[in-house]
Chain A
Amino acid sequence: MQQTQRLITCAALAACLGVPARATAQQQDTTRGVRIGLTYQPGTKPGVVVFPVSGAGGDSLQAIVQRDFDYGDRIEVIDGDAVQQTAKQQAAKNAIDFTVWKSLSAAAVVQISVMGSTAHVNVYDVAAKKVAASHDVQVSGSPTAENWRMSVHAMADQIEQWITGVHGIAATRILYVRGNRIYVIDSDGFGEHPVSEPGTVLAPAWSPDGRTIAFSELVRGGWNIVIRDVATGREHSVTATPGGLNITPAFSPDGQSLCYAHGEENGTDLYMVSASGSGSGRRVTVGRGTDNVSPTFSPDGARLAFTSGRAGHPEVYTSDVDGSNVALLTPFNFGDQNYRSNPDWSPDGRLIAFQSQLDGRFQIMTITLRDQTVKQLTSEGINEDPTWAPDGRHLAFTSSRTGVKEIFVLDAESGRARQLTHDAGARLAAWSHSTGAP
């Protein structure tokens, strides 16, 4: 009996597998190993072929550029053994056969050759059968050099601009908290390392140029805002509001000011100090005993969004940077126990990402400034603390979808998500503001 059952199961499996297997075989009859029709949908994103890269570190350089294009979600990388074989032959003959690439629905061909610390980049327009861009780009020395990966990312971002008209976000870094330290990680998940001393640290933020970070640290008397020079590791504390609670720092887009939340015994309000952290502070919000935290600047630096409990439970509000013209941004229902918090203003100024509780579980949402249209971006697990990439399209956030807290990156346009960190307990991400190796 058991024997027969097993046989039937095997037959059923074979039948199921048979159909797709034949379909794959048929496709491979014509273009072996080339991804067409399955994952690549012509028309939604330009298809791009990255030729094998000659010179030092060529293979890893090609792999990095391809991955950057992929993570950028604006380019469909056309790849595979047959593609690379064909590309190699054409490169050797120094003659690009556009009809082949046109048949694979490629919009562009990228050819990179490295000589020393200079990469010569040719971008070919397949439809027009000509060079669309030709530039020399500096890469940081050898593949073993510390900043080499970041300089390759910067080149990929530049190429993305030549092809799509939009600068890529590969040459960016993300700060986050894990355990008792603040870490930084490259946008592709490489190069993770701590950027704070051990302690109880929270809420990291980048300065606009990426040279400085600010975060809050628990000390004997309360919480301090610490400003740290990334390159030298030198730290100092904001002294305008000593003692009590000093948390959730955010640099203004011009890099001149720092806004943060300070609380003593009568609620927590937002304060503004110079970006160096010296001098006296100016109070921004008048919370009257409520909590006002997590400020984020509009890209023009004229307005702020923040979390406030002034209406009984936390919601997101906006105001001018001087604290005037306060307006409730997120709609709420009376008696609702769910709340909305942790806003992050998008770099294009149109949207604010925030976290909103649904049945007690936080999800990432966006709301438009113009007509307050709310869009839910996540639904799996608990998702918190969104931070925009400089392209205003990708978001990093904390997600518990794997069972532990990790940082994930989401393309708000396509809904595609990838896991950025791979060590339990990562949270409170902050995406660097500038591209080009902070």
Chain B
Amino acid sequence: MTGKTRLLPFLLLAVSAAAVACSHKPPATTPTPTGPNQDSINAENARRDSIARAEAARRDSIARAQADADKMRNGRDAATKALTQVIYFDFDSDALKDDARSTLDAKIGILNSNPGVKLRVGGNTDERGSDEYNLALGQRRAAAAKRYLTDHGIAGDRIDIISYGEERPVATGHDESSWSQNRRDEFEITAGADQIKGAP
């Protein structure tokens, strides 16, 4: 009962408001036609053109900046990827294979154009062999990569080495397909990662 009585005044208000809107309809006004003024048309066109030009220029500059940023990011991503690209070894060997040398060559260019960048080489082995001897073998693998880089002009203090032996496998199987993935040097960027530029 109370709900209905409360609703009533609102309903009445709404009805009266509608009635007012209908009764006071304003008369339609039509603009007075005026003759074309060439000067004003020209001025308006010029104004529009200039806005369009400015907007195009702005769009272009944004696109250019975007493209530059993309290029830079792509360049940085590519450079980072190349710097951290893993190299692989044969069983019980620290000899750099041909593909490992090409991978290291790609790093040299980037290191040369990014003097602030430093790398840590982590040597790893497969699970075969002695756990302890594998630490020494991993050290030798890391040292082999460092030596290649320093022999090609990279300052020794930019390359740090560490051995993980067989303690950090990436593949945990017990066959050659796993072992070959684990006999590797990993490369970690330890300084200058945020300012890397792509190779020129």
Most chain A CB inside 10 Å of its own CB: which residue of B128, B131, B136, B161: B136
What is the distance, in angstroms, from A338's C-beta to the closest C-beta of chain B? Answer: 10
Residues of A within 8 A of B131 (CB): 202-203, 384-385, 427-428
Tell me, yes or no, whether A81 is within 8 Å of chain B by CB: no
Residues of B within 8 A of A294 (CB): 130, 132-133
Query: B167 near A245 (CB under 8 angstroms)?
Result: no
Instruction: Give CA–CA (A202, B162) in the complex, Å.
Output: 15
Q: Which of B129, B140, B162 contacts A267 (CB 8 A)?
A: B140
Instruction: Give CA–CA (A422, B129) in the complex, Å.
Output: 24
Residues of A within 8 A of B146 (CB): 265
Residues of B within 8 A of A337 (CB): 91-92
Tell me, yes or no, whether A341 is within 8 Å of chain B by CB: yes
Tell me, yes or no, whether B139 is within 8 Å of chain A by CB: yes
Chain A, Cβ-Cβ closest to B147? A265
Instruction: Give CA–CA (A366, B147) in the complex, Å.
Output: 39
Instruction: Give CA–CA (A244, B133) in the complex, Å.
Output: 15
Instruction: Give CA–CA (A388, B28) in the complex, Å.
Output: 112
Query: A314 near B91 (CB under 8 angstroms)?
Result: no
Interface residues of B in 134-151 (CB under 8 A from A): 135-137, 139-140, 143, 146-147
Residues of B within 8 A of A265 (CB): 143, 146-147, 161
Q: How many residues of B contact A (CB 8 A)?
A: 22
A residues engaging B (CB < 8 A)? 200, 202-203, 216, 218, 221-223, 244-245, 247-248, 261, 263-268, 291-294, 307, 309, 313-314, 337, 339, 341-342, 355, 360, 362, 384-385, 427-428
Contact A218-B130, Cβ < 8 Å, known A265-B147, A266-B143: no
Contact A247-B130, Cβ < 8 Å, known A200-B167, A265-B143: no
Residues of B within 8 A of A218 (CB): 164, 167
Instruction: Give CA–CA (A355, B132) in the complex, Å.
Output: 12
Chain A, Cβ-Cβ closest to B161? A265
B residues engaging A (CB < 8 A)? 91-92, 128-133, 135-137, 139-140, 143, 146-147, 161-165, 167
Instruction: Give CA–CA (A306, B129) in the complex, Å.
Output: 15
Residues of B within 8 A of A341 (CB): 129-130, 132-133
Instruction: Give CA–CA (A293, B163) in the complex, Å.
Output: 14
Instruction: Give CA–CA (A419, B140) in the complex, Å.
Output: 35
Most chain B CB inside 10 Å of its own CB: which residue of A202, A263, A264, A309: A263
Query: A261 near B136 (CB under 8 angstroms)?
Result: yes
Instruction: Give CA–CA (A291, B133) in the complex, Å.
Output: 8
Instruction: Give CA–CA (A293, B143) in the complex, Å.
Output: 17
Instruction: Give CA–CA (A385, B134) in the complex, Å.
Output: 13
Chain A, Cβ-Cβ closest to B136? A291
What is the distance, in angstroms, from B144's C-beta to the closest C-beta of chain A? Answer: 9
> Which 3 residue pairs of A and B lie closest in terms of their CB atoms, listed nearest first?
A291-B136, A268-B136, A341-B130
Contact A202-B135, Cβ < 8 Å, known A222-B162, A337-B92: yes
Q: Which of A248, A261, A360 contacts B128 (CB 8 A)?
A: A360
Instruction: Give CA–CA (A198, B184) in the complex, Å.
Output: 26
Query: B139 near A263 (CB under 8 angstroms)?
Result: yes
What is the distance, in angstroms, from B157's C-beta to the closest C-beta of chain A? Answer: 12
Chain A, Cβ-Cβ closest to B168? A200
Query: A307 near B163 (CB under 8 angstroms)?
Result: no
Residues of B within 8 A of A385 (CB): 130-131
What is the distance, in angstroms, from A383's C-beta to the closest C-beta of chain B? Answer: 12
Instruction: Give CA–CA (A266, B139) in the complex, Å.
Output: 9
Chain A, Cβ-Cβ closest to B167? A200
Query: A293 near B92 (CB under 8 angstroms)?
Result: no
- A202-B131, A202-B165, A265-B161 known; 7 new pairs, CB 8 Å cut-off, are A267-B136, A267-B140, A294-B132, A307-B132, A314-B92, A337-B91, A427-B131
Chain B, Cβ-Cβ closest to A307? B133
Query: A293 near B167 (CB under 8 angstroms)?
Result: no
Residues of B within 8 A of A384 (CB): 130-131
Q: Which of B128, B136, B162, B164 contacts A293 (CB 8 A)?
A: B136
What is the distance, in angstroms, from A264's C-beta to the closest C-beta of chain B? Answer: 8
Residues of A within 8 A of B136 (CB): 245, 247, 261, 263, 267-268, 291-293, 309
Instruction: Give CA–CA (A152, B162) in the complex, Å.
Output: 46
Contact A342-B130, Cβ < 8 Å, known A265-B146, A268-B136, A293-B136: yes
* Residue contacts A-B, CB under 8 angstroms, 10 given: A202-B132, A203-B131, A223-B135, A245-B163, A261-B136, A263-B139, A266-B143, A341-B133, A342-B133, A427-B131
Instruction: Give CA–CA (A29, B165) in the complex, Å.
Output: 62
Query: A248 near B132 (CB under 8 angstroms)?
Result: yes
Instruction: Give CA–CA (A343, B163) in the complex, Å.
Output: 22
Contact A247-B143, Cβ < 8 Å, known A218-B167, A222-B162: no
Instruction: Give CA–CA (A240, B120) in the complex, Å.
Output: 23
Instruction: Give CA–CA (A222, B128) in the complex, Å.
Output: 22
Contact A291-B92, Cβ < 8 Å, known A223-B163, A248-B132, A427-B131: no
What is the distance, in angstroms, from A280's C-beta to the closest C-beta of chain B? Answer: 22
Contact A339-B139, Cβ < 8 Å, known A245-B163, A265-B147, A313-B92: no
